[in-house]
Structure 1
Amino acid sequence: MVKAAAKLLPDFHLLWLVDEMKKNLPLELDFTNEAANAERVRTMYAHLDYLKVPKIHYEYTSDRVLTMEFCSGAQINDLDYFLLHKIDRHDVCRKLGALFSDMIFVNGVVHCDPHPGNVLVSKNDDASVSIILLDHGLYLVPGYLS
């Protein structure tokens, strides 16, 4: 389909997408890879008390099944949740900015799918706010592009 689109729309240079899908789709569909990425990020950012990466239940995980801890929260774009729980949007913005800036500019290990369904926010019992990062199937890591 992409090859057909590339012929119809030659100015869009779409063929790189085929190579990316060949390389990344097997990684995204291997849940042992996702579990390893989640553990790496949990360890790498253990110093960030506001970041929650759900724990993996390895005894119930395989390359085709991922079982992890349930973390309660709302999507990062659920402004009603922010208002209801009196969450400071600027605080969440600072936390997300710090996390992704560190991923991009310091560690070079970057979460490749940070849409609202994969980034949750949760108000804790002590009134602090946690960022919950989900879907660790695909990361850009140092040396990936070479």
Structure 2
Amino acid sequence: MNHSSGKVDFRHFKGENVQTFRRDGMYNNTKLMNVLFTMELSQQLQHTGVTVNAVHPGVVMSEILRNYNIVLRIIFNLIGIFFFKSSEEGAVSPIYCAVSNEMDGVSGKYIDSDCSLTLPSPSAQDQALAKKLWEVSESFTGLANDQSQVNAM
């Protein structure tokens, strides 16, 4: 759900415009990029028999706030006891996507915490942005135009 508040700023990839850094903002940005990257990966894997989907497990008690101040962590943990999922509960939707017959052949979709197909935010549906993110990622990893890597898939 945090991806809907995210933004992709390619200047951050180069270490530029980082004065806007906020932990929650960066978290939301990475969630958006996860969804975009998954959607483009699905396009790249078409006709291979491999499927990929973006899955939202729900709000799960985790160590995500381990570097936040102690007051915020205490509040988060107290609220979490009553409202957040356990790790086991959070694993349900990813496991469902991996093993259920209903997901056989389904690729490039966004799966919500109740295991339902859901439309992601409008920015997460931007195919041009997803493609650009893919290309920028390729250039940073040195995999751009490396056909040996493509053929290995």
What TM-score bracket applies, with the shorter chain setting the length?
under 0.3
**TM, length-normalised to structure 2:** 0.25
Which structure shows the higher helix fraction? 2
Q: Which has the higher strand share?
A: 1
